[in-house]
Amino acid sequence: MSAPTAPARRDLHAEVTAKILAALEAGATTYAFPWHHVPGPPRNIVSRRPYRGINTLLLWLTGHAQGYATPLWATFRQWRELGHFVRAGERATTVIFWKTRPGPDADQDHHAGGADPDTASATTRRPFLARAYAVFNAAQVEGFHPPTLPVLLDTARDADAERFFANLPLTVHHGGDAAYYQPATDSIHLPPFSRFRDAEAYYATRGHESIHATGAPHRLVRNLTGRFGSEAYAVEELIAELGAAFLCADLGLSPEPRPDHAGYIASWLKVLRSDTRAIFTAAGMAQAAVDWLHERRPDPPAPAGQKRNLSTTASAPSRQRGPFLRDYGFETRPGHAGRSWPRDSLHARQS
């Protein structure tokens, strides 16, 4: 009698890449992708920690496809322990945790995709094991009603974004007809504020350019030529696209679809089809860039008579504290290296 055949090993990288490819292909004609329609950073309802990197993207994809309005997730067991039950027939969404193999932290799970082996430094890199977990959105659960968020006026949201960007250690120049990061002078260049359609469009573009700036040699040293060769420039744009989406979600803003990315979409599809780890690398680098921005800006003072909430257990506390984030029950308040910016972000202009 022959030995039983071992079950085929699950290829998580291929599964995730297939989902991202489908989203890119679906949005290729409108330049609008699921991360342009997000209700906020996805969080685990029990730990209150934000999902990170590739898992942020995966949960946004599912949330957008299913029309989930609440970015709260948990495993079947976690929902049950809270006294709620996942409805029969509901399908889970896979998230990935990285577990290091033998070493000082061999038993450490890196929460929500925050430690991607593809973005670990050479000095700290150890073998990683990807572990899949199944989670369900609050909309798939019986009897759970998320708390109502306080309404945040546009003026308050924009003031928070203005304070955030103003406190970053980045040089920004306004003027001219293009939005871009200039590596030679280590400076961000933006059209005048008045040229944008609204404040949200301005901050989304500024966030995109700020992500580019984090890759400088004296910051995160993001050199993609060795890994991606001739497609390095397009991959850098994908990192800035994802990073801007992560940052905008943190700030309560809506990322802007960018028609000027039409020329990159084909390259993104080409890279992802040929390298199933590429989207993990891009999302991990985007997350690292957002973390860098959060960690470098000074914390603003708390309003008079109000204590700042400094309690946190997240692996990246900067995404969970301060007045910039608005989340369900967790806090009470809360761009691009090319030579143009999205036309639909601006007031009408002559073509």
Reported as a single tens digit per residue, the pLDDT across 253-303 is 877 666 665 567 778 888 888 898 898 999 999 999 999 999 987 665 444
pLDDT at 2: 56
> Do the domain assignments include residue 153?
yes
Q: Assess if residue 244 is contained within a domain.
A: yes
Per residue in 200-259, pLDDT (tens digit) is 888 988 999 999 999 999 999 999 998 898 899 989 988 998 898 889 888 888 776 666
Where do we find the tokens 């039983």? 4
Q: Which domain holds residue 170?
A: 12-298+313-345
Quick one: pLDDT at residue 91?
A: 96
Please indicate, yes or no, if residue 350 is contained in any of the structural domains.
no
Q: How confident is the model at residue 40 (pLDDT cuts 50, 70, 90)?
A: confident
* pLDDT (0 to 100) of residue 295: 93
What pLDDT score was predicted for residue 253?
82
CA 206 – CA 248 distance, rounded (Å): 10
Token pair for residue 350?
């002559």
Q: What is the mean pLDDT of the chain?
A: 74
Closest CA to 284 of 136, 166, 117, 75: 117
Choose the weakest-confidence range: 24-38, 57-71, 167-181, 211-225. 24-38
Do 116 and 281 contact (CB within 8 A), yes or no? yes
**Distance in Å from the first CA to the final CA of the chain:** 75
Query: Residue 2 falls within a domain, yes or no?
Result: no
In a domain, 83, yes or no: yes
Residues whose CB falls within 8 Å of the CB of residue 77, separated by 6 or more in sequence, listed in order: none
* Inside any domain, residue 239: yes
The answer to the question of residue 66 being in a domain is yes
CB 203 within 8 A of CB 165: yes
Q: How many domains does the chain have?
A: 1
Q: Is residue 172 part of a domain?
A: yes
pTM: 0.71
The rounded percent of the chain whose pLDDT value lies above 90 is: 32
Contact by Cβ (8 Å): 238, 20: no
Q: Are 187 and 171 in contact (CB under 8 A)?
A: yes
